[in-house]
Amino acid sequence: METAKKSFITSDMMKSSMIESLKKFNPVYMIKNPVMFVVEIGFLFVLLLTIFPSLSGSGGGEHDRLYNAIVTMILFVTILFANFAESIAEGRGKAQVQTLKKTKTVTQARVLLANGSEIMKQAHELKKGDIVLVQAGEVIPNDGDVIEGIATVDESAITGESAPVVKERGGDFSSVTGGTTVTSDWLMIEITSLPGESFLDKMITLIEGASRKKTPNEIALNTLLVSLTIIFLLVVVTLYPMTNYLNVQISIATLIALTVCLIPTTIGGLLSAIGIAGMDRVTQFNVIAMSGRAVEACGDVDTLILDKTGTITYGNRMASEFLPVRGVDRSELMRAAWLSSLTDDTPEGKSILSLACDLGVDAKEEENLIKSSEHIPFTAQTRMSGLDMTDGTIIRKGAYDTIKQESLAAGHNIPANLEQLVHQVSSVGGTPLVVAVNNKILGIIYLKDVVKTGLKERFEQLRAMGIKTIMCTGDNSLTAAAIAKEAGVDSFIAESKPEDKIKVIKDEQALGKVVAMTGDGTNDAPALAQANVGLAMNSGTNAAKEAANMVDLDSNPTKIIEVVEIGKQLLMTRGALTTFSIANDVAKYFAIIPAMLMVAVPEMKTLNIMSLNSPTSAIISALIFNAVIIPLLIPIAIKGVKYKPMSASKLLHKNLLIYGLGGIIAPFIGIKAIDLLVGPLLHIMGF
């Protein structure tokens, strides 16, 4: 599947993100991010000291004013970079929002009244239950269900796919979305949503982030960050009387700078951006997540439930082999099968024609035979189809029981190995179609429900993540077992009914598992609602979309696999950058404190392994590093840490090695490099 290609940042996005970053300085907004709120309070205090240096109680000379001004500027840039990270994450969804808003044109709706007359209304005047008629070339005014008619609908404004979709009454393709266009024929639609509450409106709101709520993991991590912030605040507060005792004078600006360096500002500044970017990555796959909780839940999925037809298999049974009964030549069977399918427009019929021609059947007479024969269509009652030729020859293909009964009624003997051939095909998940000429059975056509290519490898990846796959199918146990083995799923439920899906979801959840499933029909709605992650197809019913917490605009059931990987990547990115941030703070603690105290406590010089120029240089260098590291990590926060399927223990070791060890080493290198540049400048300035 092609995903939407987005450049990381455009000039327009940069400009709008900068403006938004400045707007986010509002304390009312900043208080939602406690860590960065502490930084903003520190910034305001030092700004006040810069304007009124006498408030510091240290004489208030120009020297202090200049130092305070430098600290103020760095703190301002730190907050700006943190706000910029969030603004960039939000900005990447705005292009799609603009595209969606363009579809919300003022639409006239042709409303049908009970007495048979019709009136014109504006789309925003429609109510639930209104019946509207939409003809070719007209825009569907609001979400609804088709109650009459069949037509093609252009959904490209929402899905990006140019091919129109067939919509008709009943089944799983009766749901239509407001803002899409009927391209042929007509549809009579019952409106199912109020103005402002359509699927399109929900998509715009969700992508803009207006309704994004913090997820449980995000709240837990915020609690941890607040706890660490309080701990380091206490450390700095207790440091002040200790340094006074040692006759080391530390200014208020320095204490604030030290606090900012030690609290987890890196992850505090990036945490919101990571969550928004996770939803954006899902959106790039044309999946709309109804909440950040849904995306996050994908990362915790333990069990994945998939329908067989259309998800694991293509859904169209394809002719795979011709198996003649004993005493019949294979070429005779192939020609009879070919004749029986000449007027069969189903995918199965076309595949029989294609296979027969590939194996040598001469198709030169095809046009004449079609004109001079009568097509007998398949019906649920007869369970067979075929051709009645003008010379009196009757050719049929159909279910084993039906053809067998017809053959016996005509006085023919049933071939000795027919039942064996039928069992042979059924046991490997195939469908046997028996072929007869004038009620004499010639053999069977082996129809195979083809498993989608590459799925076995994908399921192996899921297994490596620790995710169990369960296939649900209405097929019998033999067929289900064969398909399950070929696809590589862990288990299957044969002859499953809607209540069976709910039962398996509840059973897995009772074991503490997080369950995901896909569905598109009204009968899937209860299971989609029960699952922790329910991915509904956009082509499906409104009931399914309302029950699910994700909607796939492309209606590709296998996309749940990509969505799970994105969820895993989101959690991994958050964990990796949290590890890096905390490791950073530990490293900065051991880098700054010795440099600050070595004047009063010479023994501390041993711990000053970076040989920083001076206490002031150490603080300024650490503060600059603290600010600069945030924009350097924005690409990782937005794009996500590269994810490879592996066990949780291996993932933990990898994170500790790369982001834990890297987080400790990076500040030593970064602060030292900045100190080499800043130290001489500060010396010239008299610090």
**Model pLDDT for residues 385-413, shown as the tens digit of each residue:** 888 888 888 999 988 888 999 999 999 98
Each residue of 474-513: b (16+ CB within 10 Å) or e? ebeeebbbbbbebbbbeebbbebebeebbebbeebbeeeb
Which of the two residues, 451 and 629, has the higher pLDDT score? 629
Which of the two residues, 337 and 165, has the higher pLDDT score? 337
Q: Which of 64, 145, 172, 307 is catalytic?
A: 307
**d(C-alpha 516, C-alpha 36), whole Å:** 35
- In this structure, are residues 169 and 122 in contact, taking their beta carbons and an 8 Å threshold? no
**d(C-alpha 305, C-alpha 566), whole Å:** 18
Axis-axis angle for helices 62-91, 265-284 (nearest 10): 20
Question: Judging by beta carbons within 10 Å of its beta carbon (0-12, 13-18, 19+), is residue 309 exposed, middle or buried?
Answer: middle
pLDDT tens digits along 364-383: 776 677 777 888 887 766 77
Label residue 210 by pLDDT band (50, 70, 90): very low
**d(C-alpha 40, C-alpha 24), whole Å:** 11
**d(C-alpha 201, C-alpha 93), whole Å:** 15
Axis-axis angle for helices 34-51, 252-262 (nearest 10): 160
- In this structure, are residues 527 and 552 in contact, taking their beta carbons and an 8 Å threshold? no
pLDDT exceeds 90 at position 76: yes
pLDDT exceeds 90 at position 75: yes
| pLDDT for position 39 | 92
| Phi, psi of 220, deg, nearest 5 | -60, -40
**d(C-alpha 200, C-alpha 97), whole Å:** 10
| pLDDT for position 435 | 94
Parallel/antiparallel/unpaired status of strands 181-182 and 303-307: unpaired
The alpha carbon of 510 is separated from its chain's Cα centroid by a whole number of angstroms, namely 25
User: Smallest Cα–Cα separation from 268: which of 399, 418, 496, 86?
Assistant: 86
User: Smallest Cα–Cα separation from 488: which of 504, 468, 508?
Assistant: 468
**d(C-alpha 486, C-alpha 459), whole Å:** 11
| pLDDT for position 157 | 57
**d(C-alpha 669, C-alpha 351), whole Å:** 65
**d(C-alpha 46, C-alpha 67), whole Å:** 10
Average pLDDT of span 219-228? 85
Question: Residue 81 contacts by C-beta under 8 Å, 6 or more apart in sequence?
Answer: 269, 627, 628, 630, 631
Average pLDDT of span 17-28? 87
| pLDDT for position 392 | 86
| pLDDT for position 495 | 79
**Range among 86-90, 95-99, 103-107, 211-215 rated most confident:** 86-90
Residue 344 tokens, joined:
């069969």
- In this structure, are residues 433 and 447 in contact, taking their beta carbons and an 8 Å threshold? yes
Which of the two residues, 240 and 459, has the higher pLDDT score? 459
| pLDDT for position 79 | 92
Average pLDDT of span 423-440? 86
Label residue 1 by pLDDT band (50, 70, 90): very low
**d(C-alpha 254, C-alpha 250), whole Å:** 6
**d(C-alpha 434, C-alpha 396), whole Å:** 8
**d(C-alpha 293, C-alpha 195), whole Å:** 26
pLDDT exceeds 60 at position 4: no
Question: Residue 409 contacts by C-beta under 8 Å, 6 or more apart in sequence?
Answer: 439
3-class secondary structure for 340-389?
A: HCCCCCCHHHHHHHHHHHHCCCCCCCHHHHHHCEEEECCCCCCCEEEEEE
Per cent of the chain over pLDDT 90 is 13
DSSP designation for 656: I
Least reliable range by pLDDT among 319-323, 396-400, 585-589:
585-589
| pLDDT for position 38 | 92
**Range among 53-57, 99-103, 665-669 rated most confident:** 665-669
Helix/strand/coil for 474: coil
Output the average pLDDT for the chain: 81
Query: How far is residue 521 from each of residues 191, 490, 545, 546, measured CA to CA in Å?
Result: 18, 24, 9, 11
Which of the two residues, 98 and 6, has the higher pLDDT score? 98
Q: CA 556, 561, 567: angle at the middle one, nearest 5?
A: 120
**Single pTM value for the model:** 0.65
Dihedral Cα 133, 136, 137, 139, nearest 10 deg: 30
Average pLDDT of span 16-27? 86
Average pLDDT of span 46-60? 74
| pLDDT for position 136 | 87
Average pLDDT of span 219-245? 84
Label residue 40 by pLDDT band (50, 70, 90): very high
Q: CA 233, 236, 241: angle at the middle one, nearest 5?
A: 135
| Phi, psi of 253, deg, nearest 5 | -60, -40
**d(C-alpha 182, C-alpha 51), whole Å:** 65
DSSP string for residues in 537-576: ETTS-HHHHHH-SEEETT--GGGHHHHHHHHHHHHHHHHH
**d(C-alpha 535, C-alpha 515), whole Å:** 11
Dihedral Cα 285, 291, 292, 293, nearest 10 deg: -120
Axis-axis angle for helices 216-245, 560-597 (nearest 10): 0
DSSP string for residues in 580-605: HHHHHHHHHHHHHHHHHHTTT-GGGG
**d(C-alpha 154, C-alpha 148), whole Å:** 18
Residue 572 tokens, joined:
């991994």
Average pLDDT of span 587-615? 74
The amino acid present at 433, given as its one-letter code, is: L
**d(C-alpha 645, C-alpha 561), whole Å:** 12
Dihedral Cα 566, 567, 573, 579, nearest 10 deg: -160
Q: Which residue has the tokens 């990590």?
A: 633
Average pLDDT of span 183-208? 73
Q: Which residue has the tokens 């899905």?
A: 159
Average pLDDT of span 445-468? 83
User: Smallest Cα–Cα separation from 134: which of 166, 163, 108?
Assistant: 108
| pLDDT for position 199 | 65
Average pLDDT of span 200-218? 59
Q: Is 201 a catalytic residue?
A: no
Each residue of 601-628: b (16+ CB within 10 Å) or e? eeeeeeebebebbbbbbbbbbbbbbbbb
- β-sheet bridge partners, residue 654: none
- Number of other CB atoms surrounding residue 686 within 10 Å: 10
- Number of other CB atoms surrounding residue 440 within 10 Å: 15
pLDDT exceeds 70 at position 538: yes
pLDDT exceeds 60 at position 211: no
pLDDT exceeds 60 at position 104: no
| pLDDT for position 42 | 92
Which of the two residues, 122 and 440, has the higher pLDDT score? 440
Question: Residue 51 contacts by C-beta under 8 Å, 6 or more apart in sequence?
Answer: none
pLDDT exceeds 50 at position 262: yes
pLDDT exceeds 50 at position 5: no
**Range among 58-67, 228-237, 285-294, 651-660 rated most confident:** 228-237
